Amino acid sequence: MALLERVGTLLRANLNDLVDRAEDPEKLLKQVILDMENQLMQVKTQVAVSLADLHLLEKRRDENAKKGEEWMRKAELAVTKKQDDLARVAIERSLESGKLSGTFAEQIADQKTQVDNLKSALLKLEGKLAEARAKSDMVLAKHRRARAAKNASDAHSRFDASSASNAWDRMNQKVNRAEAVGQARAELLGENEASIEDRFAALEKHDEVERLLNELKNRK
């Protein structure tokens, strides 16, 4: 049946190979798990239906067996009453029931085989689903680690160490130059102020010298 063929395809699937070949392992495993869950529900439903059919066939077999026994009892009754025509009819009906019982036995055997196959497929699919779920957790963790490592690698590749070093050197040079310019300006300003003070001091000294000279002249 088509259902068992689909289940067989899922059971034969090698999860490791599928994951290794997949561009997006996470997406693939989610789809595989979803497919398995859907097939599992269908298999469970089919098992229940097949079991119901099996029980129905067994019930009809038992009913048919009772009918065959009943017709044979009627045949015996007809014989005791010396009604051979009725006995013949009852015996024919009993024989038909016997043939039908053989048909029921074949159908029941086939139905049991189908139920057993479905139950076996159900157990295997449940195991495969558990495996897929466990592998999905591991693959997701591995995939996240790989993605984080790739992002870190990409960030590192985008970061140019030599360019950053050159930028740092240029910035350092600018700071040093600014400091040097500031220091030079301070020195120039200090020199200008010192020069003015010296000039005033020289003027005052000249005046003092002239004053003392005039005093000496006056004394003479």
User: Which pLDDT does position 156 carry in this prediction?
Assistant: 61
- Please give the structure tokens belonging to residue 190: 């200090």
User: Which pLDDT does position 15 carry in this prediction?
Assistant: 65
Of 140, 111, 152, 134, residue with least CA distance to 28:
140
The domain limits of the chain are 2-159, 165-220
Residue type, 5: E
- Dihedral sign from CA coordinates of 109, 12, 9, 146: positive
Per-residue model confidence as pLDDT tens for the chain (220 residues): 566 666 666 666 666 676 667 677 777 778 888 888 888 898 899 999 999 999 999 999 999 999 999 999 999 999 998 999 999 999 999 999 999 989 999 999 999 999 999 999 888 888 888 888 887 777 777 767 877 777 777 666 665 555 556 766 777 787 777 777 767 666 655 555 556 676 777 777 677 667 766 777 677 5
Number of helices (H) and strands (E) in the chain: give both, helices first. Answer: 5, 0
Interatomic CA distance for residues 44 and 35, integer angstroms = 14
DSSP symbol at 82:
T
User: Which pLDDT does position 30 carry in this prediction?
Assistant: 80
CA 56 to the chain's CA centroid = 44
User: Which pLDDT does position 73 carry in this prediction?
Assistant: 93
Q: How many CB atoms lie within 10 A of CB 196?
A: 10
